[in-house]
Structure 1
Amino acid sequence: MSTPQPASLRDELHGAQEILLANALMLGEIPAPSGREAGRIRFLANRFSESSLIDISVDELGNIQALIPGRTGKRTIMVAAHADALLTIGPEERLTVNVGPEELHGPGMADNTLGLAALASLPDLLRHLDIQLDANILLVGHVKSLRSHDLAGLRFFLDHYAKPIEAGIVVEGITLGRLNHSCLGMVQADITCKVHQEPGTRWEASENAIIILHRIIRHILEIPIPQEPRTSVILGSITAGKTFNRPPETARLRLEIRSEVPGKAREIRFRIKEILDEVSSETASDCSIRFPALRKPGGIPFAHPLVSAARDIMDELGVHPRLGPSYSDLSILIAKEIPSLTIGLTTARNLNEADESVAIEPIFTGLAQLIALLQSLDNGILTSLDNGVLASPAEPDGDA
């Protein structure tokens, strides 16, 4: 098989523009809040069937898989995209996607309608390019990725998929140049403070949950946070109260802890729990904490053949790599010791807004990058992985 030529692939992909745009339009008009992605999964099933893929199935959690069979089929490369989007409308409401001369417009288009459209289009794009790999390509559209679902779909799929997967590529709509090869340790914490107010208590004598939460935040900000290895505590949102003139009984803080080093996020998590216990005992308030998401750090090194190939492909396409750790889908593959990357397809505007837009022209560069990376894996990288170059999992002890 010839050496991949990403620039030539990009030129040829312009001739298949209608394949990708049609899938993006139709997927973009199917609401898919996390946990309610069935409409999009049915669409993928129909597309995969029309493309004559094999082993098409939907598991009990709702993930869909299909196989593009390779010439020999001795190895398998997984290409995954999450099917859910950050949408605030109901599953029966209608979404509208518009195509302009330079952009696709529609809520959720960047994250991750476009990535899912690339997954749906890949069989036809490979046929258009007259490309068949020796390796199988396992296409996975996974559900329950966002918010409190904490990547439950992809985790379930990999826990139950019985055959070996030699490498993985996670496809996201944005941003072109994205190249994640490792993941941070991460803990999301949801803190609630409650105080008891007797009915009829005068406002000046009432306990105030905001003041209690402020005390907790002050203690959290006093926790020593190392700059190296990179570690951070991000205070994400605070909610409390309903009126101008009544001290709230409940206040809520959501935060995220991130760290490159195993165990550091867990250490900070335990310290925050101690702070809550201390403040609760001193103020007679009820402060509780739950952890909706946990990630372990890990990944493949910068010099790994898969990362090197991706950087070379980006260089030929004139794309500047934006390397850095991830804490999303990639972390689940890394936990399974599957050498993997996350890449992006294009650029976007107005993220998470009703008028979210993605640029059309860079998509062809993003797709050329994806297909060239599949060819590079097939042309020798998988052999080097057979020789022991694996992902580096997190430390076995602990959860972050």
Structure 2
Amino acid sequence: MARTWIALAAALAATTLAPPAPLAAAPVEAGQLSESLKTQLDAQYDRIIADLIRITETPAPPFKEEKRAALFAQMLRDAGLTDVTIDEEGNVLALRPGRTDAPALVVSAHLDTVFPEGTPIKVTREGDRLLAPGIGDDSLGLASIVAWVRVLEANRIVTRQPVLFVGTVGEEGAGDLRGVRHLFTKGAWKDRIGAFLSVDNADAARVVHAAVGSRRYRLGFKGPGGHSYGAFGIVNPMAAMAEAVRGIYAIKVPAEPKTTYAASVVSGGTSVNAIPDLVTLEVDMRSPDPAALRQLEADLMAAVEAGVAAENAARSVRSGAISVEPQLIGDRPAGTTPPDHPLVRDALAASKAAGFAARLDESSTDANIPMSLGIPALTIGTGAGGGRTHSIEEYLETERQRFVAGVSVGLAIILAQTGAEAR
């Protein structure tokens, strides 16, 4: 049975001359936060909202996260952390030492957004709703981390192992998880991470324990090209691409595990009166099952080769034949943290204790990388919900009681995972 925080409450109430003594580690019970910590989070509500707005309005377009990284690093310093750096990939790293040198718990949110440079970003309010591109994905995760650090520092809470707070670059789209990939494969902490908690989305009931892997290709269909009238009858890469797409959409994929594909972006051609010499097609394939993903990739490439062969057989190759050059532009590995792992159990318990209908889910997030390496990892939500993610109409719900309850979930998981008291 975990102790209550009576001693902490008394210390805070009785003295202003000395800070409270450090709190020793103790077991967690059912994901519960003490009433004292809940009250402290609630007292931060206006400050969290202000942080959220400031972060959101600091641009972080793909591959240009520097301004937001600098801001997040300074906010962590202002919250009380002293060992705050930005690594060679652009990730913000903020270390909070533990009692031991055990492998660290990483608590992470991503800095980047999907919105290109120059997108107007100004937070507006409609009642309890805040609206702005990227406000929930993932400005809210960053603001939540800063709030948790304030609580840990204000109460001098001692954790068993170090906690490394991270703001990653390159989580979205073409970033291909470059920040977290660097953290686990090249960074200074690559061999010293014991567990990973990503904070990404505004649904505090959602516990992502399965990583949806993806493979993405840019396929360049090349041909001789020529005048649309004078060279009529020669092979056309556009036709080869069209036949390839037809073949792709004839592929049968399993419903369980959910496995998907999409022909997403098409470009190329020179003029309306010219047979193109190059047409490109971008495709996306996803599955939480590595074997299913490998099979889908093989089937898709076979469909592409069949499309090329069909066009070379259908029209003249007197000026040259069609060829295809595949370029891998995205590779997110699949993986799973078992539902009975303590990290998953702690997350579900914390969400339920905060009043949410906790559920397991699967997605593609920064947690893909550690899951694929066999390191326990999850992605959780925070706050009170929202919607229209990845659109300029993105919004968050900020009704105070539910918002604070949502923010409390991540703090409860941190305390449970690091042996600090959390009743």
- The normalised TM-score by structure 1 is 0.84
Q: For 2:48, what is the secondary structure of its paired residue? A: helix
| Partner SS state of residue 301, structure 1 | coil
* Aligned mate of 2:404, from 345, 361, 364: 364
CA distance in 1, matches of 2:147, 2:41: 11
Deviation, structure 1 residue 309: 1.9
Code of the residue aligned with 1:173 in structure 2: it is N
TM-superposition CA deviations, 1:229-253 (whole Å, max 9, x none): 4323233344566988877665443
Q: Distance in 2 between matches of 1:129 and 1:18?
A: 20
Aligned equivalent of 2:415? 375
Partner residue in 2 for 1:161? 188
Q: Distance in 2 between matches of 1:238 and 1:358?
A: 33
Query: Does the 8 Å contact 1:350/1:356 carry over to 2?
Result: yes
Secondary structure of the 1:236 match is strand
Which residue is 1:217 aligned to? Answer: 245
Using the TM superposition, give the Cα deviation of residue 286 of structure 1 relative to its aligned residue in structure 2, in angstroms.
3.2
Unaligned runs of 5+ in 2: 1-25, 313-320
* Secondary structure of the structure 1 residue equivalent to 2:339: coil
Structure 1 residue aligned with 2:386, among 326, 329, 348? 348
- Structure 1: distance between partners of 2:368 and 2:228: 51
- Contact kept? 1:53, 1:69, Cα under 8 Å: no
Counterpart position of 1:327? 364
In the aligned structure 2, how far is the partner of 1:227 from the partner of 1:337?
A: 25
| Rounded Cα–Cα distance in structure 1 between residues aligned with 2:38 and 2:284 | 39
TM-aligned CA distance change 1:154 to 1:75, over 3 Å: closer
Q: How does 1:50-199 map to 2 (within 5 A)?
A: 50-72=78-100, 74-90=102-118, 95-127=121-153, 131-159=157-185, 160-162=187-189, 164-199=192-227
Identity of aligned residues (%): 25
**Higher Cα radius of gyration:** 2
Change (3 A) 1:193 1:343: same
Closer, same or farther: CA 72–197 of 1 in aligned 2, 3 Å: closer
1:186 & 1:276 partners in 2: Cα distance? Answer: 18
> For 2:330, what is the secondary structure of its paired residue?
strand
CA RMSD of aligned residues (A): 2.9
Q: Secondary structure at the match of 2:83?
A: strand
Query: Residues 284-295 of structure 1 correspond to what in structure 2 (within 5 A)?
Result: 284-295=321-332
5 Å-filtered alignment, 1:194-343, equals: 194-199=222-227, 201=229, 209-239=237-267, 250-282=278-310, 283=312, 284-343=321-380
Shift of 1:86: 0.9
Deviations 1:206-263 (A, max 9, x none): 7654432221122223333233443232333445669888776654433222233333
Distance 1:174 1:251, change over 3 A: farther
Cα pair distance change 1:175/1:356, threshold 3 Å: same
- Give structure 1 stretches of 5+ with no counterpart: 382-400
> Which runs of 4 or more aligned residues in structure 1 lie more than 6 Å from their structure 2 counterparts after TM superposition?
240-247
The letter for the 2-side match of 1:5 is Q
Q: CA separation in 2, counterparts of 1:39 and 1:26? A: 12
